[in-house]
């Protein structure tokens, strides 16, 4: 029975580990089975996606979702569920599994069933052994092998009085073993392919090592002058359409594109109406009147708490309470009802349910911080003046908002809320806990500067409380009205009225997306992307509720096939490139003229006699890495620094956006013959490890981009 108890204890955490490693995080959602049935597909055989023709079954996908949901409930019962996020993570895990399996088969080392069996029996992973290990650390190998090879034998070890259903326990154990097997297979495939990618992608030749040694250990000091294309206004450069089209023709390979779509859409905001606001005020007034006229506010509050689905919270330290609620609760006796109070755009009625002494003393304080700046004495003098003003009766919060350099708390009047010892720096903490409520102390010096501290309260109590939360919410009537407006919009466009015209009539903003590819969930919605690719130009969506935007109606307005971007789409990009080249061409005669007159000069500084507009800059540490100190990135220039003679003003160098005149003052080039064996090995290992760290990522990214992936999730799950 000990092993069975241990298995029941470990199982949720065991499976959680698979989920964390396998998909990154856990949470799941119920599948929308009605959508599956409505689509006419059999849930048992429906296909939710394909990877290079290999199917991802809806039933398998949904089973993993349900298992993750169960684990989430066991481990984090109160956690919020990010349904779209977990679906995306599980989808990515399926895609990766299939791509890895396909690649492993292609290169000739798939993970076989026999190999997995050997791992499970001969070298079980620690997270699986844990269920068969007692508190003394003893692993029951025989029992483990028995239940792995004959899972139905688990029923024999279950106490009939334990309340555990043997059939259900065996079924669950079998499912756990299948999940372990899937996990091990994917892990081993991933590690094999990672090793292969690392081996290929991190090959480092001796020549490359020596080249990198030279880059890292060589340096040069350079004087230079920049003739930037910014010297020439755009109006002085004429670029014809024929030139642009010729550039496009010669460089069309630069402008490849995948299949893409463009949408135009309007949003109908889902917001409470004036009537919803009026209804909120009536509810608020009703509660207020019932409490004000009640002879026993406590009992009336209890009825209202149930009526308005209020919440109750157990005993907590004041420091752990919401600071804005704590300020109302800490001063009230048990049974007192406070409200209505406005907190973060919502209205609350609060009741203190219980109060008892605790072990942790907490203090409520505000502060004004004056940083040291460049002069500690003047900072302290300023702090003393503020201390005097605060003690004289000026509003402390107003002083904090105006003068405190802790901008995070200044907007709250310097309020730090309630805090226990150990949360603040020691000098601040000592002063705050030594002061009495109502005292203002300081200046207190800390590593951050000088503090003026106002102590508002101190307590070690723990408080339990209940709350009724009210806010202006949108009614069903308002929601229906928004959808009616959206349907009316769609009908008008469908009848032939232009999309933009209808939008203007309704004072809505018609927004056009950029072109997007099939893999991009436009506006965060994969269903919207699928609609765009599955329908012709001009097709309209039904009104869609798309949080957090509102109700959306969209129209497919353009489509691009895979191939090359149209000239019109890249015209502005080409114009910028051609204009840049022409500006460099226009600069060339002036730069050549200056250089001709400089030829033979001993120093580049002589250039100001020839060209007063020139500015000589100095770079004291130039390496052949593409970065020029004082200018920025230009690999052409830094490469030339190591080719031109030292001390000579070199011929003009044409960079990417400027011409350069260079004079290398000093250059130290590393001697590779002095690269010792140990130094070579260390550099080789560093370069190898750097390449290895990204090799698998680049391999997988490239493999995924080349794969044919069909995503049909929007047919099975609500994306909105």
Give how many domains the chain has, as a whole number. 4
Burial call 205-241: b when 16+ CB within 10 Å, e when fewer = eeeebbeebbeebbbbbbbbbbbebeebeeeebebee
Q: Are strands 415-420 and 346-370 parallel, antiparallel or unpaired?
A: antiparallel
Residues 58 and 161 in one domain: yes
Residue 249 lies in a domain: no
Residue 592 has a pLDDT of 94
Nearest to 364 by CA among 316, 446, 435: 435
Both 386 and 301 in a single domain?
yes
One domain for residues 345 and 460: yes
On whether residue 211 sits in a domain, the answer given is no
- Judgement on whether residues 555 and 580 belong to the same structural domain of the protein: no
Give a yes or no: residue 641 inside a domain.
yes
Show the DSSP H helices in 58-165 as ranges.
58-75, 83-107, 113-122, 126-129, 141-149
- Tell me if 705 is assigned to some domain: no
Q: How many CA atoms lie within 13 A of 59 on its CB side?
A: 6
List, run by run, the mean pLDDT of 10-residue segments along the chain (720 residues). 45 40 33 46 80 89 80 65 75 86 74 76 75 77 80 79 78 79 75 67 73 88 94 92 93 90 94 90 89 82 86 84 82 85 87 86 90 85 91 91 88 87 87 91 89 90 89 90 94 95 94 90 88 93 89 94 89 94 95 88 84 89 90 92 91 94 92 85 81 76 86 73
| Residue 201 pLDDT | 56
Residue that terminates a domain, selected from 516, 534, 561: 561
683 within some domain: no
544: which 2 tokens? Answer: 């869609």
Based on the fold, state whether residues 411 and 316 are members of the same structural domain. yes
Residues in the chain: 720
Q: For residues 551 and 581, state if they share a domain.
A: no
Residue 237 lies in a domain: no
- We report the CATH number of the domain holding residue 501 as 3.10.50.40
**Each residue's pLDDT tens digit, 405-436:** 888 888 889 988 888 888 888 899 999 999 99
- Report which secondary-structure segment, H or E, holds 477: helix 476-494
Instruction: Lay out the sheet containing 219-228: strands in order across.
Output: 616-622, 219-228, 658-668, 653-654
From the CB of residue 620, how many other CB atoms can be counted at a distance below 10 Å? 12
Is 685 within a domain?
A: no
CA 187 – CA 182 distance, rounded (Å): 8
DSSP 252: G
Instruction: Summarize pLDDT for 62-116 with one digit per residue, the tens.
Output: 888 877 777 766 666 656 667 667 788 888 888 988 888 788 777 666 677 777 7
502 and 458 fall within a common domain: no
Identify whether residues 304 and 349 lie together within a single domain.
yes
Residues 601 and 481 in one domain: no
**Same domain assignment for residues 266 and 282:** no
Contact indicator for 1, 159 with CB cutoff of 8 Å: yes
**700 in a domain, yes or no?**
no
The answer to whether the beta carbons of residues 347 and 360 sit under 8 Å apart is no
Which of 444, 470, 496 terminates a domain? The answer is 470
558, 261 contact by CB (below 8 A): yes
Give the integer Cα–Cα distance in Å for 615 and 223: 10
Q: Of the residues 631, 652, 669, which one is the last residue of a structural domain?
A: 669
Non-local CB neighbours of 109 within 8 Å, separated by 6+ positions: 192
Residues 28, 111, single domain; the answer is yes
The residue range of the domain holding 637 is: 219-231+572-669
Residue 18: per-residue pLDDT? 40
CATH code of the domain containing 652: 3.10.50
- pLDDT at res. 628: 92
Query: Are 294 and 267 part of one and the same domain?
Result: no
Contacts of 638 (CB under 8 A, 6+ apart): 622, 623, 624, 625, 626, 627, 628
């Amino acid at each position: 029975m000990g092993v069975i108890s241990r298995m029941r204890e470990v199982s949720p955490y065991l499976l959680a580990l698979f989920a964390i490693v396998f998909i990154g995080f856990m949470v799941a959602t119920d599948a929308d089975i009605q959508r599956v049935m409505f689509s006419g597909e059999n849930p048992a055989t429906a296909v939710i996606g394909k990877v290079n023709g290999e199917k991802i079954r809806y039933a398998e996908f949904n089973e993993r979702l349900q298992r993750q949901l169960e684990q989430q409930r066991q481990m984090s019962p109160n956690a919020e569920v990010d349904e779209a996020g977990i679906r995306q993570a599980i989808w990515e895990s399926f895609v990766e599994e299939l791509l890895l399996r396909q690649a492993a088969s292609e290169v000739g080392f798939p993970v076989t069933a026999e190999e997995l069996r050997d791992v499970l029996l001969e070298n079980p992973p620690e997270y699986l052994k844990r269920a068969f290990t007692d508190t003394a650390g003893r692993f029951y190998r025989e029992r483990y092998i028995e239940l792995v090879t004959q899972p139905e034998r688990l029923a024999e070890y279950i106490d009939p009085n334990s309340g555990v259903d043997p059939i259900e326990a065996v079924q669950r154990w079998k499912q756990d073993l299948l999940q372990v097997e899937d996990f091990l297979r994917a892990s081993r495939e991933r590690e094999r392919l990672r090793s292969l990618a690392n081996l290929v992608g991190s090959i480092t030749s001796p020549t490359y090592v020596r080249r990198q040694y030279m880059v890292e250990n060589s340096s040069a000091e350079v004087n230079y002058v920049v003739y930037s294309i910014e010297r020439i206004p755009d109006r002085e450069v004429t670029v014809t359409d024929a030139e642009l089209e010729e550039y496009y023709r010669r460089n069309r390979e630069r402008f490849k594109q995948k299949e893409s779509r463009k949408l135009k859409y309007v949003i109908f905001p889902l917001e409470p109406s004036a009537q919803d606001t009026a209804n909120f005020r009536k509810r608020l007034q009703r509660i207020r009147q019932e409490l004000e006229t009640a002879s026993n506010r406590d009992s009336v509050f209890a009825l209202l708490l149930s009526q308005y689905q209020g919440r109750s919270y157990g005993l907590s330290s004041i420091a752990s309470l919401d600071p804005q609620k704590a300020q109302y609760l800490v001063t009230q006796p048990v049974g007192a009802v406070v409200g209505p109070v406005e907190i973060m755009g919502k209205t609350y009625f609060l009741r203190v349910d219980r109060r008892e002494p605790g072990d942790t003393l907490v203090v409520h304080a505000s502060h004004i911080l004056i940083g040291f700046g460049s002069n500690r004495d003047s900072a302290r003098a300023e702090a003393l003046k503020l201390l005097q003003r605060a003690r004289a009766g000026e509003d402390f919060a107003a002083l904090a908002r105006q003068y405190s350099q802790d901008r995070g708390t200044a907007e709250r009047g310097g309020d730090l809320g309630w805090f226990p010892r150990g949360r603040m720096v020691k000098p601040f903490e000592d002063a705050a806990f030594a002061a009495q409520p109502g005292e203002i102390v300081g200046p207190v010096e800390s590593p951050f500067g000088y503090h003026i501290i106002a102590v508002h309260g101190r307590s070690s109590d723990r408080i339990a409380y209940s709350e009724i939360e009210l806010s202006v919410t949108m009614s069903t009537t308002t929601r229906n009205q928004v959808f009616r407006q959206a349907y009316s919009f769609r009908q008008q466009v469908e009848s032939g009225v232009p999309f933009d015209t209808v939008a203007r009539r309704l004072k809505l903003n018609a927004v056009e997306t950029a072109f997007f590819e099939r893999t991009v969930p436009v506006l965060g919605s994969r269903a919207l992307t699928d609609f765009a690719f599955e329908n012709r130009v001009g097709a309209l969506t039904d009104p869609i509720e798309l949080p957090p935007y509102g109700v959306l109606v969209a129209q497919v307005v353009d489509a691009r096939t895979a191939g090359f971007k149209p000239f019109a789409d890249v015209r502005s990009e080409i114009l910028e490139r051609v204009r840049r080249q022409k500006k460099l061409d226009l600069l060339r005669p002036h730069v050549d003229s200056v250089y001709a007159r400089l030829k033979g000069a001993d120093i580049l500084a002589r250039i100001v006699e020839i060209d007063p507009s020139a500015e000589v800059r100095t770079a004291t540490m130039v390496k052949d890495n593409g970065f020029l100190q004082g200018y920025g990135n230009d690999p052409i220039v830094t490469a030339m620094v190591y080719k031109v003679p030292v001390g000579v003003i070199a011929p003009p160098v044409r960079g990417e956006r400027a011409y350069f005149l260079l004079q290398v003052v000093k250059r130290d080039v590393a001697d590779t013959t002095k690269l010792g064996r140990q130094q070579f090995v260390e550099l080789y290992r560093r370069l190898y490890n750097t390449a290895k760290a990204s090799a698998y990522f680049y391999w997988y990214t490239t493999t995924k981009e080349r794969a044919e992936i069909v995503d049909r999730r929007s047919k099975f799950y609500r994306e909105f």
